[in-house]
Structure formats: structure tokens, C-alpha cells
Amino acid sequence: MTGSATSECLPAELIVGYVEGTLAVTERATVESHTDGCTTCRVALSELAAGSLAQRSEVTDSAAPVDEPVVAPGDAIDRYLVLYRIGRGGMATVYAAYDPELDRKIALKILHGRGRRDHERLRREARTLAALTHPNVVAVFDVGEHDSLLFLAMELVEGQTLRDWLAKSPRTWRELAPVFVGAAHALAAAHAKGIVHRDVK
């Protein structure tokens, strides 16, 4: 076994079972032995474990809106393995996920609405964003439907949220200006392509 992805990676069910503590002793030993030599499975396991802990510790967002799909770490949305929830907006919830085909982490945006018009709107937005190249706009990789859920697979940008950054300490205007100017440039680029973002935060 090498230190990279192999064609003999563990099934997602085994990794999820390991994190949830539902495997038999022999299966746990198999997972531990395999992840010693397989970077892909080791990363998937650690990300899923981190996401599971983070989701259990969430208190403020425990009550999801009625129309928000229930998605948990370990769930498969199309080919993507959900790792943890990043945040929720008025229209969608965004999760960190793993793409086994390309061996990378992505952001998976799942639409709250299930109506045909909601789906058509997000598909149009995805096509427009996919044609948009800007340093302050995440790349769109894929759009699809899985068990009536519409999802958008996008570039994952690691780091803290703007809310967390602002809460850490008082910020001077010299610190704030570049951040908001960068966001404004991204919005302007989107507007130029006909996208109007109604949920800026």
C-alpha cells in the first residue's frame, strides 16, 4: 500500500462506521491498518471525524428551517462525501465535502427549496458562475440533482468566516477597507454577468 490514493481505498461505509463507532473490532483494525498506508483514506477519515465533532458541538443552529434538507457527515450526495457543515444562508446550506474522483475537498452548496423554479434558477446561476473567472469568486465544478436535492460543487476556500474575523478583535478602517473592496469587486464581476446576489454577508 502506498501513501497516496489507490484503487483499493476503503468503502465510504467503513470510514463512516469507524467515525460513528459502529464497527466490529476486526473492522476497526482493518480501517486502522489501511489508513496507516493510504493518505486518501486517512484524510477522508480525519475530515469526517472533525466534521462529526463540529456538527455535534453546534448549538446556535440546532433548529434547521423546515425546508432545509437534512444532510449529515458521511452522507453521499451524488459522488461527493459530506464531511461537515460550513454555514447556512437563506437559500442554501454549504458543506465541506470530499470528491473521490478527483481526490480533493470541495464546497457543496445544497439548495433549500425543492420547487422547479428554484432548481432552474440555481442551474442558470451555476452556468453563469462557471463562465466567471475572478480571483475573489470561487470556481464552480459541477451542478446536479441527487434524490431531489439540487447541489452545486464549488472550490473550497479554507479559513475563517468574515463574522469570526470581525469578532476576534476591533478592526481599523485600514484592515476593513481591502476586505470589503475585494468583496465589492467580486459582486461587480458577478453583476456584470447578470447575477444579482441577494444574500451578501
Q: How many whole angstroms separate alpha carbon 79 and alpha carbon 83? A: 13
Instruction: Judge contact between 162 and 201, C-beta under 8 A.
Output: yes
Marked catalytic residue, from 61, 147, 164, 199 = 199
Nearest to 108 by CA among 45, 66, 48, 151: 151
Q: How many whole angstroms separate alpha carbon 141 and alpha carbon 156? A: 11
Q: 10 Å Cβ neighbour count for 201?
A: 9
147 is catalytic: no
Q: Determine whether 163 is exposed, middle or buried from the number of CB atoms within 10 Å of its CB (0-12, 13-18, 19+).
A: exposed
Instruction: Report the catalytic residues.
Output: 199
